[in-house]
Structure 1
Amino acid sequence: MSLLEVDDLTVTYRTAGGDVPAVRGVSFALEAGQKLGLAGESGCGKSTMALALLRLLPRTARYTGEIRFDGEDILTMSWGRLRAVRWAGASIVFQGAMHSLNAVQRIGAQIAEPIRLHSKATEAEIRRRTGELLEHVGLPARRADAYPHELSGGQRQRVMIAMALACDPKLIVADEPTTALDVMIQAQILTLIESLVAEQGISLLMISHDLSVLADTCDRLAVMYAGRIVEEGPAAAVFGDARHPYGRALAAAFPRIGDPASRRRPQGLAGDPPDPADLPSGCTFHPRCPARLDHCDKLDPRLWPAGDDARAACVHVLPDKGLSLVAKESA
């Protein structure tokens, strides 16, 4: 049994203008100790997915499907059981540490709070654990008395990681943890996350728009577009030889060190992801796809085997490029 199993998950927001689908039928599994990267442009549903895993979305969100953590369905848990799972079973690192931390509370007190709620430790043990966590993420224990504004962006992100580790969770969800940091600090934070996950055998779901970062950090990659996973497989294969045109476009957007061609002719992808409230027919990527076929606006392919332990939702990996499925649907 996998540590985390997501089965046909949909998340729909209720708005004044009608229902808006943000996540559409997503399924994946994460094994104990595994690192899975979830990539995609802004607006593809990545953060909604991250928040859905711990039921942190607003009341306007409606869920269907299953999210099984250690065999229990997150979506049917009582509030009491859900509070016990958050932090102690699974924790989250948000992308904006300054917005996530309490500006008027010392960071030591914020790290100590989940320990106090989820354990029977004494105050002396909590203070000692807080200092150990700070030192574990590269900050001196004395900084426990600092306020968030007294720390740099990288230091605040380290505090968020310390909080995520406070109750020894089995799973950490990292939602764009380095987006607001400069390149040097980003590299330090990524190295820190990777080493801590490896040392403690924690499973990691890391979310980013940067496919190259995920390829360096994770075992497997999943590429998300318009609320669905359109490609999934080993990290090196997805980054180096993506089978879905969207995966290839994401990988090509980042110049490779030592490759003059990619540096001098950076590639991008025209346009933006579709409005979730007004999705195109057929394959949602076909209006932007450089490899689209005439029937791509009619067939909406789901994940299909696409090589060694990989899957892609594209007509180009389907037998006869999906023509038989189009004929069947038209009959």
Structure 2
Amino acid sequence: MTTQPMPSALPEQPEQPSRSLLEVRGLHVTYGSGASAVPAVRGVDLAVPAGGKLGVAGESGCGKSTLALALLRLLPASARVSGEILLDGEDVLTMRWGRLRAVRWAGASIVFQGAMHSLNAVHRIGEQIAEPLLVHGRSTTGAARNQAGALLEQVGLPASRAQAYPHELSGGQRQRVMIAMALACEPRLIVADEPTTALDVMIQAQILRLIEELVASQDIGLLMISHDLAVLADTCDRLAVMYAGRVVEEGPARDVYDAAHHPYGRALASAFPRIGDAASRRAPKGLPGDPPDPSALPGGCAFHPRCPVALEVCAHEDMVLRDTGSGRRVACVRAGTEAGA
């Protein structure tokens, strides 16, 4: 009787890296064409894992809102977009219209700044929250009304407010309604574009806590945009700083806020007084001048005309993001040096 050899153990398969919920690769957005072309976003690479929270910061005009609109192809027809925007592995930029329509609200949704301008003044709140449920075939008319009330309660408003019109609500209440609408179809990603800019500090704190709790409890990915590094550092896991359409620094949110490696990140962080820091309260720092006009960007590093530590090379050589350790990327010739860190 012959003995069959025992089968050898199968080789251990290497662990596959987890795919990001959202991955932006080499994103470029340009308004217009030819000599009048205006580059608003220039080669942005970002990623948001499921349940992760990424903040994007920068002054007005740095490309933050254009980035947000590009994620779901909400840009005007004059915009030319290239690169990849992978949502759960699917490229939003190449989706057919029917698939894109299905992804909006259900796969990803956006909370815009200025809720009064985003809500329809002539429709009741409950009708507007129910609309995405009906459009996506997730509910009947009667059930959608009940779900609208439940969503309002989820964001801290009584279900009875579903009968109100937008003008009958306060600014904070309207922003809560926008969050309820964003959650209606149970998306995996929420993009929040300056969700607390028009609110007082007490209501702002409440809205931020609400967003954090919802993201944590429902394992939702969050990409939050703001000009305020302090808000993002307190809310997000990671932070990306944009300038002139590019990411100039990215890393753990608290690390970037407390000790940015890029001069622009340091300037943004120091522009806000810090509680307990008498020097920053009496004389908050900042930067002279304004961000460059996207249609007339300076040569070399776009930040060098305003940079307090610029070198001669900065005027001629454009800087690209490079790893500097500890999960950080910085686009600065001084990154990693004593002057840059």
> The TM-score by the shorter chain falls in which range?
over 0.9
Distance in 2 between the 1:264 and 1:273 partners?
A: 25
Aligned AA for 1:13? Y
1:313 is aligned, of 331, 338, 341, to: 331
Q: Which moved more, 1:127-136 or 1:207-216?
A: 127-136
1:47 is aligned, of 59, 65, 69, to: 65
2:170 pairs with 1:162: no
TM-score between the two structures when normalised by the length of structure 1 = 0.95
Q: Residues 93 and 288 (structure 1 numbering): CA distance in 2 closer, same or farther, change over 3 Å?
A: same
Aligned AA for 1:18? S
Aligned AA for 2:318? D
Aligned AA for 2:255? A
Distance in 2 between the 1:227 and 1:166 partners?
A: 32
Shift of 1:123: 2.3
Aligned AA for 2:166? P
Shift of 1:50: 0.2
- Counting matched residue pairs gives 322
2:47 pairs with 1:6: no
CA offsets per residue over residues 240-274 of structure 1, 9 Å max, x none? 11000000000001111111121122111111000
Written as runs of structure 1 = structure 2, the 5 A alignment for 1:152-231 is 152-231=170-249
Decide whether the 8 Å contact of 1:243 with 1:306 is kept in 2.
no
CA offsets per residue over residues 9-33 of structure 1, 9 Å max, x none? 0000016961100000001111110
Give the gaps of 5 or more residues in structure 1.
Answer: 322-331
Q: Residues 320 and 108 (structure 1 numbering): CA distance in 2 closer, same or farther, change over 3 Å?
A: closer
Aligned AA for 2:27? L
- Between structure 1 and structure 2, the one with the greater Rg is 2
Distance in 2 between the 1:319 and 1:281 partners?
A: 23
RMSD value over aligned CA atoms? 1.6
2:285 is aligned, of 267, 274, 292, to: 267
Paired position in structure 2 for 1:141: 159
Paired position in structure 2 for 1:91: 109
Moved over 3 A (4+): 318-321
SS at match of 1:126: helix
CA offsets per residue over residues 261-306 of structure 1, 9 Å max, x none? 2112211111100000000000000000001011110111100112
CA offsets per residue over residues 76-121 of structure 1, 9 Å max, x none? 0011100000000000000010000001111100000001111342
Paired position in structure 2 for 1:298: 316
CA offsets per residue over residues 164-186 of structure 1, 9 Å max, x none? 00000000000000011111111
1:252 is aligned, of 236, 257, 270, to: 270
Aligned AA for 1:140? P
Paired position in structure 1 for 2:140: 122
1:281 is aligned, of 296, 299, 306, to: 299
TM-score between the two structures when normalised by the length of structure 2 = 0.92
Aligned AA for 1:53? L
Shift of 1:124: 2.6
Paired position in structure 1 for 2:44: 26
Give the gaps of 5 or more residues in structure 2.
Answer: 1-18
Q: Residues 162 and 12 (structure 1 numbering): CA distance in 2 closer, same or farther, change over 3 Å?
A: same
Aligned AA for 1:203? G
Percentage of matched positions with identical amino acids: 72
Distance in 2 between the 1:319 and 1:106 partners?
A: 57
SS at match of 2:325: coil
Decide whether the 8 Å contact of 1:305 with 1:317 is kept in 2.
no
Distance in 2 between the 1:120 and 1:237 partners?
A: 42
